[in-house]
Amino acid sequence: MSVVDNQGRTLAGLLARLRPHWHRDPGLPGRIEDLLRRDRRFGARDRRLYRDLVYTAVRHLPWIEPWLDRDPGRAVRAIAWLAADTPATRAFRAALLGSAAPDPSLPPASVADKAAALAGILGAAPAASLLPSWFERECPEAFRPPNYDVLNTRAPLWLRLSPGDPDPVFAEFAARAWPWRRSPLLSSAVEILGEVDVTATAAFRAGAFEIQDVGSQLILESAGLTPGEHWLDACAGAGGKSLQLATLLGPGGRVDACDVRPAALAELARRAERAGLARRITRPNRPAASYDGVLVDAPCSGTGTWRRSPHLKWVTTPARVQTAAARQQALLAQFATRVRPGGRLLYATCSLCPSENERVVERFLAAFPAFSAEPFAHQSRGEPRGAGLVFWPATHNGDGYFVANLRKA
């Protein structure tokens, strides 16, 4: 048996073990990592290869799953064709597909073009949608090009440059032959055009940049923050937006960060220390109704992150969306009391579902008449949706987000 045949059989075996879980386990990435890590046959290079191939299968599950029983060999060939051209997959794709492999120098194919190309491998072009059917009722725009095509591609790697001279960062990238480009929307946002480990750089260790999706960056950059203010980050997590918020508020500003997960706050503290922002980010210690602004980056269904976490497409349901919306409503009501008169409440999600976005805001405004929706300082960076803005993945080549800017009278 050749090396590539053995790799194909190994991939089919991994998919067989994961198959009982990918329609019901939100923690599938952890399961994948555990499966790869425990197999003693796999070195680091093998894990990268099979990780890429497994995620390709999960991203295109309605096209791949029917063939796993019918003809696993064809399923493996289809996965190889669909996989991105990375250092991990390049040799596997070339050995398995030969001249039939896609040309990596061409622009990414649309979903329709991919389906047509797979007709030669599968015997017929797959017709199933690569997004769950219920989602079309929530977000019909996601099913139209270019959003549909972009939502079904891998997420790029975006960085946020810290204030200061970026030339040393770019010089280190050049020394490593890493291609990059700046976002046309944000000069601080840089996309790395390759499969690299940016955490291994001296620039990262020095706090010269943070890993943060461009859509996430747009939330705060569009709001037009006032330097010197004191803000509360109500759902800080590991702190990507807390660090950005502290940067935008400047040396005279302060950010109080809270989260229900101690481990996330510990990671935020480490990141703040590396970025030189530890003195500007503290734990909440102010009385109610005293903050100039409160950011509620609420837990959500994550439908805007499906390029980065494709497994969520197959475990997210309308019921999960409604449960998230109820929690978001409660969080807005809870933290609205922390905003001073004249202050602002920024509500954000990484969801593209109106049920979690504009409808939550509409209900909040009806229940809290002291607040009203306010235009954004940089309105053109997103698409107006109800009382907020949507940042579409196809517009900025990142994840999808929603944000509303609410002012207290």
**Measured between alpha carbons, how far is 78 from 75 in angstroms, rounded to an integer?**
5
Region class of 289: left (phi > 0), else alpha (psi between -120 and 50), else beta = left
**Measured between alpha carbons, how far is 104 from 178 in angstroms, rounded to an integer?**
17
Residue with tokens 């649309």: 110
Query: Is 350 noted as a catalytic residue in this protein?
Result: yes
Closest CA to 32 of 45, 50, 8: 50
DSSP classification of residue 106: S
Cβ neighbors of 289 (< 8 A, separation 6 or more) are: 337, 338, 339, 340, 341
Residue of 139, 300, 350, 353 marked active site: 350
Amino acid identity of residue 56, one-letter, is T
**Measured between alpha carbons, how far is 388 from 93 in angstroms, rounded to an integer?**
44
Beta bridge partners of residue 190, listed in sequence order: 159, 182
Question: CB atoms < 10 A from the CB of 326, how many?
Answer: 11
Amino acid identity of residue 25, one-letter, is D
**Measured between alpha carbons, how far is 292 from 287 in angstroms, rounded to an integer?**
12
Cis preceding-peptide flag for 146 (omega within 30 of 0): yes
Q: Which residues are tagged catalytic?
A: 350
